[in-house]
Amino acid sequence: MKWTPGECVKGDIVRVRLGSVYHYGVFVSEDEVIQFGYPPLPEFADKNADPRVCAVDADTFCCGKMIERGIPVRSDKSVRRTPDEAVALARSRIGEGGYNVIHNNCEHFARECVLGAKRSEQEEELRRRWHRHGLLDVYVMPVPDGAEPGHVDDPEREAYIYAAADPSVRLCRYLVWELLGKALRRSSGIDISALRFSRALNGKWSADGAPEFSLSHCRGAVCVSVSDTPSGVDIENNDAFDRFGDKSVAAARMLCHGEHADGRDGLLAVWTKKESIFKMTAGTVFEPKSIKLKRYETSSFRLPGLPDLTVSVAGRTSALRCYVCGADGIRGVTPQKM
């Protein structure tokens, strides 16, 4: 499929770029474009709570962006439906649900209606990237001055956020989801509003169609990881163990036989590594002394500009990339290994 701006005609597969992802539909006329779910933008969050195949006008579909029409290549033309067939099929599916951001999205719908093949180039490219390089992205965001928690469309997540009695914890719970939304869009092209999240009894969150992810926060900062294999992440303030006058008390709580931790940095690295392993393995009760570090691949580090924080991640650390999110956007940084 080749893509080009131009005048669209009945039966065209069309798309519009919205940030790092494309939104697809079947063009009928300027007054009718049939799409699976609304464009993945905040203003359509309510409509995307339960994505359905629907018809909108071209202005709503494109959100002020340029529409591109698909020009079939040789392999596409052999299975392409006639314009009338494509439109009839698309219209017959209006009201249909079952949206899945990975396996049954707007591109799958449009291609199946126009070309007779349920396929998503975005999904295929994402899978190629995962298999080629692996994915383990860690994002850290300091809590902005004057920030306040806002409304969350998901009742379960909102209840979890506002169940925290401490206002600072409540804010961090809110911001870590804001950060996850940015991370999912940047690392995997997924809009968080299209996902349905659930929380297990052990506190671990998950969502069908989403990459693996892990959440963490501490005083003044939040952190998430996004990965293609199970992973866990933990962030901690460097002074977390200063309340222990004798560091041997903390060491006795966390070290297995044969494990060692030198000074404050060593304790922080061990503690956060074990927290990240606990999250990755979806344990039920955090018992540091039962987690043997040598059995897992982990990494502890600090990030440029954030010297008062220690981060640890468990998972395929050979694929590790780190980002800091701030008022000036998201920037990639080189972790300073501990």
pLDDT above 90: percentage of residues in the chain: 57
**Dihedral sign, Cα of residue 311, residue 315, residue 320, residue 326:** negative
At residue 133 the predicted structure's pLDDT band, cuts being 50, 70 and 90, is: low
Strand order of the β-sheet with 298-303 is 232-237, 306-314, 298-303, 336-337
Are 153 and 101 part of one and the same domain? no
At residue 235 the predicted structure's pLDDT band, cuts being 50, 70 and 90, is: very high
pLDDT above 70: percentage of residues in the chain: 93
Are 288 and 152 part of one and the same domain? yes
**Per-residue pLDDT at 15:** 95
At residue 212 the predicted structure's pLDDT band, cuts being 50, 70 and 90, is: very high
Are 109 and 148 part of one and the same domain? no
**Per-residue pLDDT at 259:** 83
Task: Please provide the average confidence, as pLDDT, over all residues in the chain.
Answer: 88
Per-residue three-class SS string for 29-72: ECCEEEEECCCCCHHHCCHHHCCCEEEECHHHHHCCCCEEEEEC
Helix (H) or strand (E) holding 156: helix 155-162
At residue 240 the predicted structure's pLDDT band, cuts being 50, 70 and 90, is: confident
pLDDT at 113 over 90: yes
Give the helix, strand, coil percentages of the chain, each rounded to 5.
Answer: 35, 30, 35
Are 111 and 154 part of one and the same domain? no
Are 149 and 35 part of one and the same domain? no
User: Which structure tokens are listed for 223?
Assistant: 């952190």
Show which of 127, 153, 177 is a domain's final residue. 127
Are 84 and 148 part of one and the same domain? no
**Per-residue pLDDT at 191:** 84
Show which of 80, 108, 127 is a domain's final residue. 127
- C-beta atoms surrounding 137 within 10 Å: 24
Asked whether the beta carbons of 33 and 14 are under 8 A apart, the reply is yes
At residue 126 the predicted structure's pLDDT band, cuts being 50, 70 and 90, is: low
**Any idea which residue has 């074990």 for tokens?**
274
In this structure, what CATH number is given to the domain that contains residue 105? 3.90.1720.10
What domain range includes position 248?
A: 134-337
C-alpha–C-alpha distance, residues 274 and 314, integer Å? 9
Asked whether the beta carbons of 13 and 70 are under 8 A apart, the reply is yes
pTM: 0.64
DSSP line for 219-241: TTEEEEEEESS--EEEEEETTTT
C-alpha–C-alpha distance, residues 300 and 37, integer Å? 41
Torsion of CA 264, 266, 272, 274, to 10 degrees: -130
At residue 185 the predicted structure's pLDDT band, cuts being 50, 70 and 90, is: confident
C-alpha–C-alpha distance, residues 282 and 273, integer Å? 14
Are 260 and 180 part of one and the same domain? yes
Give the length of the chain. Answer: 338
C-alpha–C-alpha distance, residues 126 and 102, integer Å? 10
Q: Which amino acid is at 34?
A: I
**Per-residue pLDDT at 128:** 61
**Per-residue pLDDT at 288:** 83
Quick one: DSSP state of residue 82? P
pLDDT at 299 over 60: yes
